[in-house]
Amino acid sequence: MIFFVVKLGGFIKNIKCMEQKTMKCKSNFLKTAMLMTGFGLVASNAFCAGTITGTVDASIPKYKADAVVYLLGVKGPVVPKHESIDQKSLVFVPHVTTVPVGSTVDFKNNDKVNHNIFSASAAKKFNLGTYNPGMSKPVTFDKTGVVNLLCNVHSEMSGWVVVTENQYAAVTEHDGKFTINNVPAGTYKITAWSEKLKAQETTVTVADGKTATVDIKLAK
């Protein structure tokens, strides 16, 4: 807990109000109280959450990268995102994306050829139709789950969108490391997903202003 002492040009010191100035004093006191409350709110927001860091290890080393780590059961409003996935050299960039439910993803075509992006996954079935280089088409993901991205024109293309129940998620780096910021204090289930390995779940406890560390091992 952090306390702020605010001195406003001697206003707080020796406040004396005559009867005819009562309303003015009340107004000034209210402004001071609101200002101090504002400082308190800023301090509270800055220190009411923690951080989760860790590493995902994998029985097949290359799958340490592009794993998705996400939390379950976090209370509070979901904050949708607006992300983009590019298509370059017949590859989805990034290969794996994670977004909270309700988010929109723009599928950009920066290739020199036409693409037709679609998915038959239960979490989101869609077909964008064939579109030309330089174009972009949006998709809103309104259900949680794993969505496999494919292209009707190029069968070798594959990518993933993992739609989570909240914004507390991350995609691992090439070495398996990840960070999830601004997590409300509490104990939660945390899951690691990979496109080729079995998902694993454990628990993590987050304290205000602290960093919790979680290491997860994935295997077939």
DSSP codes, 193-214? E-SSSB-EEEEEEE-TT-EEEE
Q: Secondary structure of 9-43 in the HEC alphabet?
A: CCCCCCCCCCHHHHHHHHHHHHHHHHHHHHHHHHH
Domain boundaries, the chain: 17-47, 50-218
Query: In sequence order, what DSSP letters do the residues of 128-151 get, joined into one string?
Result: ---B-TT-EEEEEE-S-EEEEEEE
Say what the pLDDT of residue 48 is: 79
Say what the pLDDT of residue 205 is: 98
Q: Model pTM?
A: 0.79
| Mean pLDDT of the chain, nearest integer | 86
- pLDDT of 220 strictly over 60: yes
Per-residue pLDDT of 122-169, as tens digits, reads 999 999 999 999 999 999 999 999 999 999 999 999 999 999 999 999
Closest CA to 105 of 52, 147, 75: 147
Structure-token pair, residue 53: 């860091």
Per-residue pLDDT of 161-217, as tens digits, reads 999 999 999 999 999 999 999 999 999 999 999 999 999 999 999 999 999 999 999
110 within 8 A of 93, measured Cβ to Cβ: no
71 within 8 A of 166, measured Cβ to Cβ: yes
Structure-token pair, residue 138: 């949006």
How would CATH label the architecture of 50-218?
Sandwich (2.60)
Handedness of CA 127, 128, 129, 133 (dihedral sign): negative
CA distance 60 to 206: 30
